[in-house]
Each structure stands twice: as structure tokens, then as C-alpha cells.
Amino acid sequence: MVHYKDLGLVNTREMFKKAISGGYAIPAYNFNNMEQLQAIITACIDTQSPVILQVSKGARNYANQTLLRYMAEGALRVVNDSGKPIPVALHLDHGDSYELCISCIESGFSSVMIDGSSLPYEDNTALTKKVADYAHKHDVTVEGELGVLAGIEEEVSSEVSHYTNPDDVEDFVKRTNVDSLAISIGTSHGAYKFKPGEKVPPLKFDILKEIENRIPGFPIVLHGSSSVLQEYVGMINQYGGSMQGAVGVPEDQLREAAKSAVCKINIDSDGRLVMTAMIRKSLADNPENFDPRKYLGPAREELIKMYARKNREVLGSAGKA
């Protein structure tokens, strides 16, 4: 067993406490490859933002779980060598089993999500409690989820949102002993969150408020929070892609949410869009190029800008390291 503290990682407890009292949210950015990871840590060092590095089950399968874990350790070294240290948590995104959560904890993750949101309530509660009991023995923090987001949640696909029922949250938090709770208030995963032209699709701030009333000061997590930046969707379509009707969560609504008990905001798709747009453009502009560094490099530069701007303008986490 490798303990995350020996790697210099932190769990999310302190981060969330400060984020709630400071009215901002911690960025939780997913990575699957080196360029994404480099961009995330560079942007967070540059903006002096705490960060949660997120690894999904799919990312572990894609990149190899051992390699990904060592990449995170390498990233931490880079952070420390920068002379401008920031708090970094390594988090399992959408863990779907007790065994997967344990495997991550034993390999040095400082935080795990156990996503039992598609299970019946009592089963979700029992599974989440089982993970929390184990994780807390190692001072690893645990995120649970209540309510189902529309779109694809790993292998679970849902056509519609099932908003979190505020009547459930107090009981769930008490019985499971989770450290944070992911809720469903209208966000969804992927690049097609709302219908194009739909009147500004509002997050259900009334449900968020009611949840806050039931569990005051408890850390809330928003998944599916990419804004599906139209600049990059446009570039993808311009350079041979086809992403018609891709729409995300307006950034001003995320900013608003970040001022509340929402203290972790998950963003993956926006990074995917930036990378794809830049690679498509670079290859179209330089058809003779066959050196991956020459199209991955510009993609990485643009990712840094995008993450840094999110920290400054959307999450409010810049300068909070």
C-alpha cells in the first residue's frame, strides 16, 4: 500500500472547507494523457489554484492504471519543483465498485467517488458507507452521489435527469458518513447537455438551496459542468469535424453555483473540445507535419489558457492555493 500523504498529495477536506467559506469552487479536471495533465498543473500553478486531478475508470483502462498513477506522482514533483506549491488531490471519478475504490486508495489516491446513484437508495447507501468506512481508516475522503444526471454516467446511460430529492440528503450523508455529495440539478455529462436555442437552461438553484438548507455547510459537487465552449465547437466543425447542436452549462451559472456550498466543479468535456479543435486545426494548416509534438504542443498551450481562465473567471479558485 502506498499512502497518498507519502506522495505529497492532500485529501479534499481542507480544500472544501476553505472553498465553502471563501465562495469559490475547486476545479476537478479529468486527465487521460500527458498533455492534459501538463496543462492542468501548469494552469493551476500559474493561477495558484488548488486542484483535484480526476481519473475515471475509463482513463485507467485507456492509459494503464500504473502509468497514470506514476504520471500523477510525477506531476506532483513538478508542482513542488516549481517553487510555487499548490494543494493537489488525486481523485477517482465515478468509481463503480468497492473493489475499484480500494484499489485506488491502496495505490495512493487521496479521494474517491463511489457512484451508486443508479442503484436503489438503500443499496447506494450501503455501498457508499462500505467505501467510506474503509477510506476513512486511511484518511481518504469520499464523494457519494444522489440523483441521476442525464447523459452518459460511465456505463450507465440515462435519457433524463432525476433531480436529487432534498428529502434524501440528510439521511444519506448521516448514514454513509461521506465527505461530499454530488447532486443532480440539471447538469449532464458530455457535449450535448441542452437543446440548441433552448431558453437559457437554468440549473435548478431552488433544489440546490433546499439541499443546502437540509445539510448546511456540507460540501456539494457538480458533475457535468463543462460549458461546451462554442469557440472550439466552431473550430472542430470548421476543420472537418461534425458536432452539431453541442451546448453546455453557461459559465455565469457555474460562477453563481460556486458561491454556494458547491465546492467542487467537474470539467472534462471542455478539455476534450479544446484538444480536438487545436489538433484538427494544426493538421489542416500543416498537412506535411507528422511530428505529434507539433500538433499536441499547440493543443497543450491552448488547454493551459482555458484551464487558467476557468480558475480565474468561473470557479474563482485562482489565488486560493
**Least distance between ligand 13P and beta carbon 268 (Å):** 4
To 5 degrees, how large is the angle CA 266–CA 268–CA 274?
135
Pairing of strands 220-222, 151-153: unpaired
How would you class 261 by CB atoms within 10 Å of its CB: exposed for 0-12, middle for 13-18, buried for 19 or more?
A: buried
Q: Give the phi and the psi of residue 316 in degrees, each rounded to 5.
A: 75, 20
Cβ-based neighbour number of residue 287 at 10 Å: 7
Q: Please tell me whether residue 94 binds ligand G3H under the rule CB under 6 A.
A: yes
60 near Zn ion (CB under 5 A): no
Q: Which of residues 258-297 bind Zn ion (CB under 5 A)?
A: 266
Name which of 247, 243, 228, 225 is nearest 315 in CA terms.
225
For Zn ion, the closer CB: 38 or 225? 225
223 in contact with Zn ion (CB under 5 A):
yes
Per-residue binding string, ligand G3H, 183-222, x by CB under 6 A, is: ------x---------------------------------
Query: Out of Zn ion, ligand 13P, ligand G3H, none, which partner does residue 317 contact, by CB within 5 to 8 A per kind?
Result: none
Cell of 122: 438503500
93 tagged catalytic: yes
C-alpha cell at 164: 436529487
Q: Distance between alpha carbon 159 and the CA centroid of its chain, in Å? A: 21
Can residue 58 be called a binding residue for ligand G3H (CB under 6 A)?
Answer: yes
Identified catalytic residue from 6, 46, 81, 93: 93
Among 60, 91, 223, 281, binds ligand 13P (CB under 6 A): 223
- Counting residues that bind ligand 13P (by CB under 6 A) gives 13
Site string for ligand 13P, 89-128 (x = CB under 6 A): ----xx----------------------------------
Judged by CB under 6 A, the residue of 19, 44, 59, 146 near ligand G3H is 59
Question: Cβ 84 to ligand 13P, closest distance in Å?
Answer: 27
The cell for 167 is 428529502
57 binds ligand 13P (CB under 6 A): no
Residue 91 interacts with which of ligand 13P, Zn ion, ligand G3H, none, CB < 5 to 8 Å by class: none
Q: What is the DSSP string of 9-75?
A: ---SHHHHHHHHHHT--EEEEE-SSHHHHHHHHHHHHHTT--EEEEEEHHHHHHH-HHHHHHHHHHH
Inter-residue contact 245 to 195 (CB < 8 Å)? yes
- Please state, in angstroms and rounded to a whole number, the distance separating the CA atoms of residues 30 and 35: 12
What would the grid cell of residue 113 be? 467517488
Q: Which candidate, 113, 100, 123, 115, places its Cα nearest to that of 149?
A: 115
Residues 259-318 that bind ligand 13P (CB under 6 A): 266-269
Among 35, 46, 93, 96, binds ligand G3H (CB under 6 A): 93
Among residues 198 and 291, whose Cβ is nearest to ligand 13P? 198
User: According to CB under 6 A, which one of 51, 224, 254, 318 is a site residue for ligand 13P?
Assistant: 224
Residues forming contacts to ligand G3H in the complex (CB under 6 A) are 30, 56, 58-59, 93-94, 154, 189, 268
- Catalytic residue numbers read 93
